[in-house]
Structure 1
Amino acid sequence: MKCFVSVLLLIGVSCSHGFYSNDEYVVELTPSNFESEVINSKELWMIEFYAPWCGHCQSLTPEWKKAAEELAGIANIGAVNADMHKSLGSKYGVQGFPTIKIFGFDKSNPEPYNGGRTSDAITDAAMKAVKQMVQDRKSGKKSVSV
C-alpha cells in the first residue's frame, strides 16, 4: 500500500508541474509569461499545448525535448499545460491534445502544425517557418502582435 501511495504522489507531482518544468531547452509557458516570451518576441516559437494526462502528449514529450535541443539558438520551443492554463488554450483554439502552433512573423495568427511527431519532422517545420519569416521581413511585411 505504501508503494501505491508513493506512485500516486509521484504522478500528482509530475502532473502539477508539467512535462517541461526542469528542461533547459523547452520553455514552460503560462499566462504570466506568454506575452513577454512569445508575443513580444521577434523570433519564431513552436508551442505545444498539452495536458499531462494525455497519452499522445506523453509520447510526444521526448521528441519535443530533442527537437528543442536541436533548434537551440535557431528557434524557440515552448509548452503550455493547457489543462492547467485553459485561458491560453481557448485563446488559440486548442480543442484537443497535443495541439502545436507556430508563432512566426505574425504573432496574431499562429499557424497550426499538423506534421509528424518526430524531432526530425518538428525541426524541419521550424526551419521552414524560419525561412518564411526571413522572406516576410525581406518583403517588407509588417508583423502584427496580439
Structure 2
Amino acid sequence: MKSLFASWPFWAFLSAVFAALTAIFAKIGVENVNSDFATFFRTVVILAAAGLMLYITGNWQQPSSIAPRSWLFLVMSGLATGASWICYFRALKLGDAARVAPIDKLSVVFVAIFAVLFLGERLSLANWLGVILITLGVVLVAFRS
C-alpha cells in the first residue's frame, strides 16, 4: 500500500477523478453565480486547503530558499492557472459540462506538444498516436453532430 501512495499514476488518477468532480460541482455552483466570482471563491477555498495541507504535513518551505527562476515560473504557472480557471468557469456557465470538460482536456494534447517543444521531451510513435486519439476523442465528445 505504501508503494501505491508513492506512485505518480495513483496521484494522476486521483487528479483526474477530482478534476471530473470539479466540472460537475462547478457547473451546479455557477448556475446562479457570476463565473468570475465563482472562480474567486474557489481560489480562496483552494488557498485555505493548500495552507492546511502545508500545516498538517509540515512541508512549509522558507520562501528565501527558493531560487528567483523558480519564483518566476511559479508566478507564470499561477497566472496561467488563473486564466484557465476563469475561462473554464465561463465556459461552464455557458455550456454543458459534458462538452466543456473534454475541450478543457485538450490541455493533455498541448502539454505533450509543449513538453516536446520547450522541455526537450521525446514521445514515441505510440505516444503520438495517443495524442491524436485524445484529440479525436475530444472532437467526438464535445461537438454535436
TM-score computed with the length of structure 1 as normaliser: 0.29
Which has the larger Rg?
2
TM-score computed with the length of structure 2 as normaliser: 0.29
